[in-house]
Amino acid sequence: MHTDERILAYGGGWLDRAGARRTDPGWIAARLADRETVLLPLWRDHCLVSAERTPVRRGAVEAAGLLAAADETVFLGLDGGVAVFAVDLSGRSEQEALELAGAAEAVNVRSLVGGLGPAEAAVQAYARGLLHWHRGQRYCGSCGAVTVGRDGGHTRSCADAGCARLFFPRIEPAIIVLVEAPGAPDRCLLARHRGAPEGSWSTLAGFVEVGESLEDAVRREMAEEAGVTVVDLAYQGSQAWPFPAGLMVGFRATAAAEEVRVDGEELVEARWFTREELRARSAAGRPLGRIDSIDRHLLGTWLTAGD
């Protein structure tokens, strides 16, 4: 089995999430009163950045107005002993949020990732995903009562004492697969998704369903979308994907036969590519996967394996 330990985008965050401490409300309150504590403001899933397009960071004490205006404040972790919190300003207008944070612009973290270090990108994506979950879990799915944040923002509980159900952040796992042809020459299967521009090709992916293992999901998705039976599955790595709550799990697999039959729903076209074809596309300025996505990693390692 081939694996690669290189850190993918949104992985490798440096924060100590302090799971044993964040359940103590007094400890959380003390961190928010600490002059060293750092706040990362976000607005409706967007990072708030300076004119230089770097994420805004504010001291908790000097930015008391920021905390007072927040819809939700969640503890992210400790950076060398300094607490870091994410502050959600989604209930404000964009202009209000910018003024409160002293920011110049609200941007998607994916547009920043090329200019951020891996750990900084990981923390911003972590903050985005956690705050998104809070906005979507305001009510109890069992009784309909409101829910309230606790444990530094890592759980929510139903406010109805008769229910008191606990909710934890949800992660939606998905598999993404580089499928190799069964015989020579070496080729991999790429597809064009419905709505994608002409000539835009990517690896195949899909969500894991209830009652499936990751391997089950690989076999089902490849059969459903491309009519391909796969064997020799090999795990390649995983990637945090909080857009809003994903976890991408990468595999390489081999097709049992070369015939391809796309479903016509999610995929409109699929075909086999040689390494030479992919290198030519890359040389022509057509990127092999997004800069921040695991599909670029899967394609890159496959190309390297042929050198």
What confidence score (pLDDT) does residue 117 get?
Answer: 87
pLDDT at 135 > cutoff 80 = yes
| Residue 225 Cα to chain centre, angstroms | 23
Residues 6+ apart with CB under 8 A from 300: 288, 289
Chain segment 8-55, per-residue pLDDT in tens: 899 887 899 999 999 999 999 999 999 999 999 999 999 999 999 999
What confidence score (pLDDT) does residue 197 get?
Answer: 83
- Distance from C-alpha of 221 to C-alpha of 234, rounded to nearest angstrom: 16
What confidence score (pLDDT) does residue 14 get?
Answer: 81
Average pLDDT, the chain: 94
Q: Is the dihedral of CA 234, 236, 239, 243 positive or negative?
A: negative
pLDDT at 2 > cutoff 90 = no
Chain segment 211-246, per-residue pLDDT in tens: 999 999 999 999 999 999 999 999 999 999 999 999
Query: Model-level pTM?
Result: 0.92
What confidence score (pLDDT) does residue 6 get?
Answer: 54
